[in-house]
Structure formats: C-alpha cells, structure tokens
Amino acid sequence: MRSDGKMETNFLILEWSDGWREVIRVSSIKGFLRYYVIQRMENVGRLVLDKVEGYPELLIIERKPRDLSKIVLYGMNKAYRVNLRRKERFGDKVELSGHEEVEDSGEIKKEFVNALRKRGYDPNALLSLKDDELKERLKELGNEINLYPSVDPRDAFDFMKLLLEELVKSKS
C-alpha cells in the first residue's frame, strides 16, 4: 500500500519466444519468486509472485509454458529471462525451472512509442478521446507490438493507457 492509502498496482508482462506478449495487472507484490513448468500429459506453467502481505500469488500459465522467455515486472523495473534448465522428477511428474534476473531495457515502452509515431498518434490527443474510441486505438497499437490481455481485457487497455500517461508526463 502506498503512503496515500491506495493499493500499489504494477503490470506483469509475459513474453514468449515467438514474440507474443500478455499483460496481467498485479497488486501489492514485492517481486518474482520463481517460474516452473510441470510436465505430465500436458505442460502447465506456474508463476509465483511474492506479495507485500500474506501468501505468495500463484498464476497459471497455459499458453506454451515451455516457450515463455521473459517476465517483466513493469513498475518495479525488474525483468527475468526464463531458462528451464533445472529438471527434477517427482513421481509421475517432471518439474522444469530456472530463471536469471536481467536488465529491464524498457523495450516494450520503446516499441509502443515507435508504434505511436508510425501511426501518427499524439499521446495527448489519444488521452482526450472517449473510452470506446481510445480502446479501439489502443487495441490496434497492442496488435502492432504483439501485446494482448492474459485474462482481463482491461489489463492491456489500462497498461497502454498508463504508457500514454507516462509519455505525456515526461514531456511536461
């Protein structure tokens, strides 16, 4: 919780080796604990986040869990490269795990800015649009940079709106 009493909200960006990205809103987290894939009949990815209070948060990754390549905690300036090199057997299941912290180069924000320029969009003008029109424009931009919502469609919209607000704030 922030000093003003509001919950701290960050965004988790998941990147796959094929360029696909998903965004998930996460609240009150301290950091990333681990990512692992359980192999049985099918592969299931599990991402564990350290919460500010209470138990860690477990997120299930269903899309190509073995191909997840990078995890970015946007708002915390942290990124992790996934490398599933460690292999452990537990009865009938095999668990693959491994990651390393890497520099968050702000790649997604740079791609977003390039997509804005390519389409000739002004961040101030976009923020002045009505929500329906803004959602449509941000969906186009998201498609261009391969950024999609993981679970809640509002997460991608809110993340890109945050990027717009940051751009406007940095220019003032």
Tens-digit pLDDT profile for residues 104-132: 878 999 999 999 999 999 999 999 999 99
Q: Is residue 3 part of a domain?
A: no
Is the same domain home to 98 and 118?
Answer: no
Is the same domain home to 53 and 133?
Answer: no
Q: Is residue 1 part of a domain?
A: no
Most confident of 25-29, 36-40, 136-140: 136-140
Q: Check residue 30 and give its pLDDT.
A: 86
Mean pLDDT, rounded, for 47-61: 92
Q: How many residues does the chain have?
A: 172
pTM: 0.85
Query: Of 55, 76, 102, which one is at a domain's C-terminal end?
Result: 102
Q: What does the alpha-carbon distance between residue 156 and residue 161 come to, in Å, rounded to a whole number?
A: 8
98: left (phi over 0), alpha (psi -120 to 50) or beta: left
Which CA distances in Å does 76 have to 12, 52, 67, 172? 10, 13, 24, 23
Is the same domain home to 114 and 164?
Answer: yes
Is the same domain home to 21 and 80?
Answer: yes
Q: Is residue 4 part of a domain?
A: no
Is the same domain home to 56 and 83?
Answer: yes
Question: Which amino acid makes up residue 100?
Answer: E
